[in-house]
Structure 1
Amino acid sequence: MGGINKLTGPIPKSFSNCSALELLDFAINDLTGTVPETLGSLPNLYHISFDANRLGHGRAGDLNFLKSLGNCTVLQVLALGGNHFGGELPESIANLSPYMRTFDLWGNFIHGNIPNGIGNLVNLIRLNLTDNQLEGSVPEAIGKLRNLEGLYLSGNKFSGSLPLSLGNLTSLIVLYLEQNMFEGSIPQTIGNCTSLNILNLSKNSISGTIPREVIGLSSLSIFLSLSNNFLTGTVPSEVGRLKNLGELDLSENKLSGELPSNLGECVSLERLHLEGNEFDGTIPQALESLRGLEEMDLSRNNLSGLIPKFLGELLSLKVLNLSYNNFDGELPGKGIFSNAAGVSVIGNDKLCGGIPKLLLPPCRKEKSNSRRKIFSRKMVIPVTCAAILLAVILSLFVGFSKWRHVTKSSTEDWQASMSYLDLFQSTDGFSENNLIGSGSFGSVYKGILPRDNNIIAIKVLNLQQPGASKSFLDECNALRSIRHRNLLKIITACSSIDHQGNDFKSLVFEFMANGSLDQWLHPRDNGEHQNMRLSLIQRLNIAIDVASALGYLHHDCETPIVHCDLKPSNVLFDEDMVSHVGDFGLAKILFKASDIPAEGQTMSVALRGSIGYIPLEYGMGGQVSIHGDGYSYGILLLELFTGKRPVDDMFKNSMSIHQFVAAALPNHVMDIVDPSLLFEDDEDEENGNDIEEISMNNVNPRLNVGRRTNDCLVSVMQIGLMCSRHSPGERMLMHTVVNKMQAIRESYLKCKKSRNMKRF
């Protein structure tokens, strides 16, 4: 076995000399070239895994070796995902071992059809062809794989109707068919798959109504998504049979009618997405039974009536989107409705009341007859005129103040501006000895103010760099009114001229004594931080701090802000190792309510960010949204716990840090974490083992990491993967990340505390 190493070069043909070889596992390396056909001369081989390498050339003939594997008569596992294999699936796959249980070719460049011979592999339990370029219809022969538990065909170009024979797969637990071009209706026969836990048919061109047999499949317990299709009609009442379902997503279709009250019987629901349809009527009172609901999105429908108060009594509800409907009346004020970051009601022009941050008009209240008499016409007219005149005067005054406010180079709530001379003297003339960092638009210096000896950090803009002046203004605008313990605090700004008469612009920040996350994760050769490492708890704290900062920017600011350049060098530590997110030179303020992206929505701007952390959609279409920050956070989280940069040499071509981590979870998480975490004390500490002694005696450090640490790391990595998903709408929102990361930390600390108490 040679999995998860740094092996390079081709697969040696000499393996064919190992006639007794039974298992060949070289997953997650950097192997290139072709798979030798001589592997077919190994009759005892039952497991082959070359997942996540660079095998193949992306062209015809790459899969010719599959024919020779027909001689491996006891072969059970063939895992070739995450490579560069091209060409078509050969008909010879029909001759593979009848004992085949796993057939994985995900993440390659394979095109053409699935051969009918696939039906010969009757003992297959898992078939994964995700993220290729396969096309045509899925053959009815797929229905012969009656032992199949997992079928993964998402991210291809399959078309035509879904095969009716899917209903023969009665052992199926997971069915992923999303992101293809399937047409026609959903086969009723899928209702025969009574072991199904997950069904995803989203992002196709499926039409017709939702079959009662499918929506009422009571075995569905994790995820049902039919989103982004062309489904019509009402939601059948059989939806109430989904009593164990965690997430239901029927969004972005053409479904109509009233919301079925039977939804209230889905008592395990945590996420309910029905946005982007044509539902009408009111929100059913029966939904008050959904006590575990965390997210509900009913936006962009034709719902009307009062917003029920029971929604404010759902204690688990963290996200509620009711925007762009026809709701009227007074908005409740309790629970989720008291959190402006968690609720959206924009586009409902008849709503009133609610907390001030939601910016709804006050509700009119009926006045008694006695009050009407007091406010007679003779009094109302002059009072109204005076109020109008006063409002005009105030608006002119406010407008003039705002004009003056915008034209100033620093805000009034910052301290009095420092002069160029002050900054020049505090840095010894911007000496290189005081240079602590540099970026795309300028340099950062450490300064000591002569008048009070306070240490500051001064970001001096390089105005010769195109875009630097705009970056200065953007950062001023972004930092003008935000305040959060995990954001780098600005002291003042300076816009002046230097000794040579050139324009000079700088921002002055609190000094961060412990440098940046980048310096701690990737120490330089000069010895900086070489003898210091971040513990697991410190990394959890950093992850929570950064997520809290982004959550504040996205959801708690009066005008949401997208950071656009989150990376380790922009995460700074104060003397107590509290994290502060800085550098808002690329930040984007979403000024209008309509600028706030709903799930799946974005706003067009130029490409922003740093290579490795830029979300995929920015590179393809120049789009910006809070989901883009979510992607950058996900990559940063994976880097924080693996210690590997996303631009590491090992991540080339089709391999990425996301794929690297995904391929290792859950069983190989300890093979990819930052090596310094392998010396964390855990369950072995309970037995009195000394970490330093273990290291000195050359004991495998992985043995020093217990189950609790392993589980903690798996949970964290999974959040990183969810945040860095390809589709923006599928990424986790920051307030959800904060809650989940805090729960992981609390669980780990609780277990550790309990273990320490047992020792005494």
Structure 2
Amino acid sequence: MTHSWLRYEWVLLIFFHGILLMSMSSCLKSKTVPALANETDRLALLDFKNRITQDPLQIMSSWNDSVHFCNWIGVTCSPSSKRVTVLDLEAKRLVGPIPPSIGNLTCLTGINLRSNSFNGEIPQEVGRLQRLHHLNLSRNSFGGKLPTNLSYCTQLRVLDVAYNNLVGQIPGHLSSLSKLVNLSLGVNNLTGNIPAWIGNFSSLNVLSLPRNNFHGSIPSELGHLSRLRFLRLSVNNLSNTIPPQIYNISFIYYFSVTDNQLHGSFPTDVGFTLPNLQIFYCGGNSFTGPIPKSLSNASQLRGLDLNGNSLTGIVPQNLANLQSLLWLSLGNNSLGKGKDGDLSFLNFLANCTSLGLLNLESNNFGGVLPSSIANLSTQLDILIMGTNKIHGNIPTGIGNLVNLSYLGLENNYLGGTLPHVLGKLQRLNVLYLENNNFFGPIPSTLGNLTTLTELYMEENRFEGRIPPSLGNCQNLLLLNLSHNNLSGTIPKQVMGLSSLSIFLDLSYNFFIGALPFEVGNLVHLTKLDLSKNKISSKIPTTLGTCISLQYLYLGGNSFEGVIPQSLKNLRGLEDIDLSHNKLFGHIPEFLSKLLALKHLNISYNDFEGEVPSEGIFAKASAISIFGNEKLCGGVQELNLSSCSSKHPKLNWRLLALRIIIPITCITIFVLLLLYFFPMCSTVKKLREGALTTSSFGDWQFPISYAELLESTNGFSENNLIGSGSFGSVYKGVLSRNGAIVAIKVLHLQQQEASTSFTNECNALRNIRHRNLLKIFSACSSIDHKGNDFKSLIFEFMCNGSLDQWLHPKNDERHQRNKLSFIQRLNIAIDVAYALEYLHQHCQTPIVHCDIKPSNILLDEDMVAHVGDFGLVRFLFEASNNPSKTQTLSVGLKGSIGYIPPAWPDWMELK
């Protein structure tokens, strides 16, 4: 279509060129033109140049006095008179207005400024150019109204001002332009009616008025344009019916009235009266009746768009005779009878070997999807059949349509399992399968669709696991698998698809396990919906890196623990649903600081303490906190009880009963545990293989070697805390947040150091407690010499180990410090809490096997932290019989954990 129009335009230009040469005769007759006329042209061109505000191609630099203006780029002069006859600056990226002085170029026959960025109004002075035949100002930024003075340009053949910002009505003065061959005013903001006097332009070949605000009826006078070949009135507000006279203009090859308010039915003989049709676009109106069978007579038809009308009946099978057909759009009508055989015309469309688009959506087609779909053109790019009454399976022959980029089968009654051959459609960008009756597993072959950007599979009966191969679809912007029967854990390969930016919806399934920490890769995601599943464990702190999130729905799961502080980074959140989980603790204050937040649902959890009164919490209708019986305070509309005093006074006897006695019992228990705990046997490795990023679960993101190098001043000896057989420990200050950390750098030349690194990380990967030594991150990289580099980053314990305080040496700085009884008691309680957590609350119970004062570290508040997990033992339940409980030891011959800051001989590793 585009190529045909371009060829036609070239014919017009050649025709006009001959006319232009003849029209210049008055400027050529005189052999001696006064110098004043030449100077007038030169000054007019210089004024044009001076109005240019942007000239990235430096076109205007040639417009200088070093050469005659007739040799300037874009300027054509009469050979004899040296008067300017053509100004052609198409697509030169020029910016600026057209000056009124252009009216001084009185010998101009052609102006072509197409595809630039000229602005301002078209000057009225253009009307002085009475020899003008060709005026093309299309694809610029002209505003204002069409100049009425154009009516003086009575020799004008081409008037093209399409793709601008013109306003107002078509001036009645332009009715004098009776020699027009091309009138193109499309894509502006013109209003009013289409003037009937256009029907007097007997030479008109092209009438293009699309994308304006014309209203009223199409004038029947347009039926007088017997030479009309190109008629485009689309995207306006035209109403009534198409005048029957227009259907008799047999030269028309391009006919478009899409997106108006037209009605009526098509003439049954339209294919005979318009035999030269190549484009017949009538979509987006209210046409009724059947599709005319006579259209098959327009053998050159390439595009047929009847989408979005109220057509009825069946699709004529003889449309298959249109062997040049590229575009067949019949969607959004009432075609078909909802019965078998409605799609039988597909059996014949194999003759349309160039078909690129087939749109049948939102009709009343019934029956099964014919296997003949496999015979459709291999050039088919778009196949849309959604929202019909089609049933049965997807034919395996669909795999032959290897050039499909868009496949829509949604909202039908299709069933069965998805054919694996869908994986052959490797050019597919969009796949709609939602709201059908598909069942069985999701084929792993969908992972072959690496160009896929949108995948809709919701509202079916898919079951089993999400295939990890979907992680290969690294161009996915949107994934919807909600309302199915999917189960198992969510693959980290899918959860970590960083391309997802529109939404990820896995709601209403049966997913279990923890939410993979790779969710932190979704930094561009706008909506995450995991509601109504069985997901457990904690909300990953890495979710806080999804800074584009606006909608977060995690309700109806089994998430536990507190709301991570890292979510404070999600400042664009508008809607949060964490209801019906097992979350506890206080409502984080940062939720009241999220200025974009419009709705918050944390109902039916186990939150406690005071409800904030600021931000989202100031509006009771915007929050839901039902089912949290321990909450108090908040705004009055919540009707919660007031919060009690935070520091009640207790008498000594009550304190003894409630605190001292339990603490004493715990202390005795710890001492007995330390004395009688059996010697741990030589242990085996827990896991094989190198540590991957996924091993760090809820840890912070890995820290780079460069940052560690900077934080330790190049691993300076001044920062060295101590060293041992497997590594050295440095004190560092992280540049990202100023945190003081202890950095354990492994000596990888030692044979077991790398294995120790892996095993220690596995031991620490899933344990978190305030009385266990906190590991921040890890680094597995290459140093500046190209050698392997591995390190662990721990919380820095500024008060050293308990051993340092209990048994100070003569030269130690803590010699003068003594532990009080209360401090000793608190340390014992802290250790008891840590051991109780390891034994009772870990997913797999852990026995430390190496509790001693040197492995108990003290922070600045003298809070004890148990460290050094080099000899832990894991307990696995083999059955319900305790006698069959199995243990698996993780033995590290040298601890690679963090030993507290002290002298080097304290750092000797086992």
TM-score by length of 1: 0.48
More helix as a share of residues: 1
More strand as a share of residues: 2
Which one has the largest radius of gyration? 2
